[in-house]
Structure 1
Amino acid sequence: MNSDSSSQQKFDYQFKIILIGSSNVGKSSLFFRFTSDSFEETIPTIGVDMEVKIVTMEKKKLRLEIWDTAGQEKFRTLVSSYYRGAKGIIMVYDVTKRETFTDLSKWANEIEQSSTYQDCIKMLVGNKVDKESERAVTEKEGEDFAENYGYMYLECSAKTGVNSKECLDKLILKILDTPSLLDDASTENNWLVPRNNMPVLINNMPVLVQRNKSCCY
């Protein structure tokens, strides 16, 4: 997948993709991998963050709007509104923390209730495989959950980059292979790209985006 830093180009399709999952599973680290191929250690996201990424796949120029969402329970009502218009949803858990895997059924139910498109492409991602010695959830368990819910599945490490690019690439290719998701995918929208600690307007309502460095991911 080839990226282009300019967001002012013409494009064939635009896709909204959101990252969801419990707090501290590494969603923000994956977000930075997807948008800048870098690793940053952060504390839990407050509100949401979004970046635009222009890529070319299958000879199509795509405008990706990648959204990172808060995982804390107090933000669940807020986060549910961001499913609207998402063509791809990446649900993340931490392979070293079983409770984040146990919580997946709640997130899956939320997707079912809140997503706009019945054919929305969903991917389950087990993050932090660089901590293999601390693994608490087997790959087979992740595969079985994904198969049961009809999700794509990959394990990765946002820290080392292992399989991180593949997660986004496979999701986008699957969207491109789903005709029902392409019907309105060339329509412009008015979402603004947020910056750290600055408000982003969603339906004319400001939502605070805040990033801070921390010791963990």
Structure 2
Amino acid sequence: MNKLSKKELKKLRKLKKDYQIFSIKLVMAGDTRTGKSCALIRYCENIFEKFNPSTIGVDFKSCIINIENMTVKLLIWDTDGNDQQRKTVGNYFQGCAGIFLFYNSSNRRSFENLEEWLNEIRERQIHSGAIKILIGGWSDNEDDKVVSTEEGRFFANVNGFIFIEVSSLTGKNVENMFVCMGRAVLRNLAAGFVNVGIKSNGISLVGEPRQHKN
């Protein structure tokens, strides 16, 4: 995704006023063992945990990201992909600025189950300005892939998602997926598609306003 333009950055600085940073609520969803937690840990801690246990319920991490000299705090909810937890997980979709929807490139069923996740997202009536990114996890070994890049990209295009394949093992595109999400959310904000400070949009301002000297 292209960098934010000077015009977009000017609008964002005007919206930010004297507050320090934007805070963005994000949700990671998809079946169990699709790489959600591994990608999050790889990005936030720069480590790869091969035998990372599956998330039970919901996990949470926050991190600071710099996008074109614009400081942004990402609040990331890593959700349980278990079938029995899907309705509970769906509660976290409401009031988010963006959703990462994962499938495992080496697991056909996780890709087929994307339709069920889409239905859950639609039922929760996510606001129209929410950014949706489809993540093809476990994409480091072409020999193990049973879902092609073309299939993933087609599904994303049909359903209005950005598409990115990642590998937490090699680090491929892990940072890019978070930068891409941050840029897309800020671009929508600059264009006026979403407003800051409205709970349902998942974007807020953080920090005390700077005091100006007389």
TM-score tier by shorter-chain length is: 0.7 to 0.9
Change (3 A) 1:71 1:60: same
SS of the residue corresponding to residue 17 of structure 1 reads strand
**57, 61, 67: which one pairs with 1:47?**
57
**93, 104, 123: which one pairs with 2:114?**
104
Q: CA deviation at 1:182?
A: 4.3
Structure number with the higher helix fraction is 2
Structure number with the higher strand fraction is 1
Residue 110 of structure 1 aligns with an amino acid whose one-letter code is E
Q: CA deviation at 1:167?
A: 0.9
Length, aligned pairs only: 180
Residues 55-103 of structure 1 deviation map (CA, whole Å, 9 limit, x = unaligned): 2212221111011100001111210111122101000101111100000
SS of the residue corresponding to residue 140 of structure 1 reads helix
Q: What TM-score comes out, normalization by structure 1 length?
A: 0.78
* 1:162-177 paired onto structure 2 within 5 Å: 162-177=172-187
Note the residue ranges of structure 2 that are not aligned, 5 or more in a row. 1-18, 198-202, 207-214
Residues 161-203 of structure 1 deviation map (CA, whole Å, 9 limit, x = unaligned): 0111111111111111002334222246xxxxxxxxxxxxxxx
Residues 13-59 of structure 1 deviation map (CA, whole Å, 9 limit, x = unaligned): 11011110001111110111232222113121101111111122122
* 1:1-217 paired onto structure 2 within 5 Å: 11-40=20-49, 41-179=51-189, 180-184=193-197, 185-187=203-205
Q: What TM-score comes out, normalization by structure 2 length?
A: 0.79
* RMSD over aligned Cα atoms: 1.7
State the match for 1:202 in structure 2. none
Whole-Å separation in 2 of the counterparts to 1:59 and 1:163? 21
Contact 2:41–2:47, Cα closer than 8 Å, also in 1: yes
Q: CA deviation at 1:157?
A: 0.4
Contact 1:24–1:43, Cα closer than 8 Å, also in 2: no
| Rg (Cα) greater in structure | 2
SS of the residue corresponding to residue 168 of structure 1 reads helix
SS of the residue corresponding to residue 20 of structure 1 reads strand
State the match for 1:211 in structure 2. none
Residue identity over aligned pairs, in percent, reads 30
Note the residue ranges of structure 1 that are not aligned, 5 or more in a row. 1-9, 189-217
State the match for 2:15 in structure 1. none
SS of the residue corresponding to residue 27 of structure 2 reads strand
Residue 131 of structure 2 aligns with an amino acid whose one-letter code is I
Contact 1:94–1:101, Cα closer than 8 Å, also in 2: yes
Q: CA deviation at 1:159?
A: 1.3
